[in-house]
Amino acid sequence: MTDMKSSNRHSQIIALGLLCSLWLAAAPLSAQTNETDASLAADKAKPIALTEIQPAVQKLIGARIGDGTLSDIERTDEKDEPAFVISFITKTGKNHDFTVSEDGTLLSLGMPLAELPVAVQKTIRAQANGGEVTGIDKNVADTQVSFDVEVAKDGREKYFTVANDGVLSSMEVELAETPPAVQATIKTYLADGQLQSIDENFDPAEKSFDIEAVALNGIHKSFSVAADGRLLSEQVALQKTPAVVRQTIQEKIGMGKLLRIDKTFTETKAGSTRVLFEVQCRMNGRPIYFSVGQHGRFLGLDN
């Protein structure tokens, strides 16, 4: 999960039009391999020293901290890629944090509730329902800004995401809180693996559930299920795609960084299933999404 959801596709395509014309000319076949099939079960943050990070990223960290004091750095896997969570104390004594990718892209910023848009604050307070807001991350590396929120109440933690306009876009739920058809699909698909999280997406077009899990062999699994139990998509590694699809992806990414590939399944009016590969990558610090047909045809940019 994806993180590849859209409610404003056409406006984003217009905004990326110029970039697309340059991007399509990229020639080097140097797309980085998606590590979905590597063992990513250990998703715990690991403390590291500043000197262990690439010099270019060190420079970015120093620039953001300014005259503040570095508290600690933790390495973690966030949003489908390795990242560094930087905690620091400002000159005025306030605690702040931000997350940066290995290639130096700023992914998110820790934010106080009072500095968020009024509509976002209102939604967070309503969802918190008297609980303590223990963390807010402003996601800035996507095409649209959103806020990941953590709330603590009655000894339990609650996680949800709010769009920049204040609309509640997703919420973490328990397996028992999902429809019976969704539970059945999850159990069948996961088999004896370990369920990590379920996010319910409140897309007006179709409600769905994003599932993160670890298979019995330690391989990370990420897939989406419709409210009626249909499998909508599953994350796949580049090397697991058909050769013609892999070639198109590599050609289009060029020197960019591959972040994620989702194999999607859509029922047609004729009753057949249409298979597409939705690709997320980053080029020059900007997120790019595009689709490839199962026979390798490039289908254009997405939001």
Domain assignments of the chain as residue spans, ordered by start: 45-110, 118-170, 175-302
Assign 3-class secondary structure to 172-239. Answer: EECHHHCCHHHHHHHHHHHCCCEEEEEEEECCCCCCEEEEEEECCCCCEEEEEEECCCCEEEEECCHH
* Residue 275 clears pLDDT 90, i.e. is over it: yes
Question: Tens of pLDDT along 202-238?
Answer: 998 899 999 999 988 888 899 999 999 999 999 999 9
**Confidence class of residue 79 from pLDDT cuts 50, 70 and 90?**
low
**Confidence class of residue 8 from pLDDT cuts 50, 70 and 90?**
very low
Across 132-146, average pLDDT: 94
Higher-confidence residue of 209 and 19: namely 209
Tell me if 70 sits within 8 A of 88, measured CB to CB: yes
CATH hierarchy code of domain 118-170: 3.10.450
* Residue 31 clears pLDDT 80, i.e. is over it: no
Query: Which amino acid would we find at residue 298?
Result: F
**Confidence class of residue 80 from pLDDT cuts 50, 70 and 90?**
low
**Confidence class of residue 3 from pLDDT cuts 50, 70 and 90?**
very low
Question: Tens of pLDDT along 173-192?
Answer: 999 999 999 999 999 998 88
* Residue 4 clears pLDDT 90, i.e. is over it: no
Region class of 54: left (phi > 0), else alpha (psi between -120 and 50), else beta = beta
In Å, what is the CA distance from 231 to each residue of 42, 103, 170, 223, 247? 26, 33, 18, 8, 26
* Residue 2 clears pLDDT 80, i.e. is over it: no
Q: In CATH, which of 3.20.20.70, 1.25.40.10, 1.10.3720.10, 3.10.450.360 is domain 175-302? A: 3.10.450.360
Tell me what pLDDT residue 21 has: 42
Higher-confidence residue of 82 and 167: namely 167
* Residue 11 clears pLDDT 60, i.e. is over it: no
**Confidence class of residue 143 from pLDDT cuts 50, 70 and 90?**
confident
Mean pLDDT over each residue of the chain, to the nearest integer: 85
Across 276-281, average pLDDT: 96
Q: Pick the range with the lowest mean pLDDT from 26-30, 90-94, 279-283.
A: 26-30
Cβ of 74: how many Cβ atoms within 10 Å?
A: 16
Which residues lie below 8 Å from residue 270, measured CB to CB, with a gap of 6+? none
Tell me what pLDDT residue 34 has: 43
> What three-state secondary structure class fits 156?
strand
**Confidence class of residue 269 from pLDDT cuts 50, 70 and 90?**
confident
Domains 45-110 and 175-302 share a fold: yes
State the Cα–Cα distance between residues 262 and 57, nearest whole angstrom: 29
Tell me if 199 sits within 8 A of 223, measured CB to CB: no
Across 25-53, average pLDDT: 55
Structural domain 45-110, CATH architecture: Roll (3.10)
* Residue 130 clears pLDDT 80, i.e. is over it: yes
